[in-house]
Amino acid sequence: MKPRQKRFAIIIGGLAALGIAAALVLNAFQSNLVFFFTPTQVASGEAPKGRAFRVGGLVKEGSLQRTDITARFVVTDTAKEIPVTYKGILPDLFSEGKGVVAQGSLGPDGQFTATEVLAKHDENYMPPEAQAAVDKAHEASRTLKQ
């Protein structure tokens, strides 16, 4: 093999290895990508089926039920509601009427099974996506009432 052909083979092999590495990184990134949806978007079918995503809004007053380490509650954006089940210890700041983001997947029965629950961290904070969803739902409900 001539030196020129060796260089060409090395360059082609390097590009192939780089392409394979890029494909593996992008595949890993895509499989770990989790999108945020509001209860209204979930109810309208915009959320992915059979894939993890986040749902956020407010914990509906009077909806929290605890049994051992299983918690059931309802997340609302004041327009629509999504029932959530979570097995584990809820964050200390988790409470009814406060902002929450739950990560998990939606079952065929419409029940959201959370694998992680995130609560607000001070009295003025709500995740930006959840705050925008609540504001949008309030605006939509005001428009419908008029």
Q: Which residues are annotated as a binding site?
A: 121, 125
> What is the token pair recorded at 53?
């995503």
22, 27, 55, 81, 139 from 145: Cα distances, Å:
52, 46, 26, 19, 10
97 CB-near residues (< 8 Å, 6+ apart): 58, 59, 61
Binding site members for heme: 121, 125
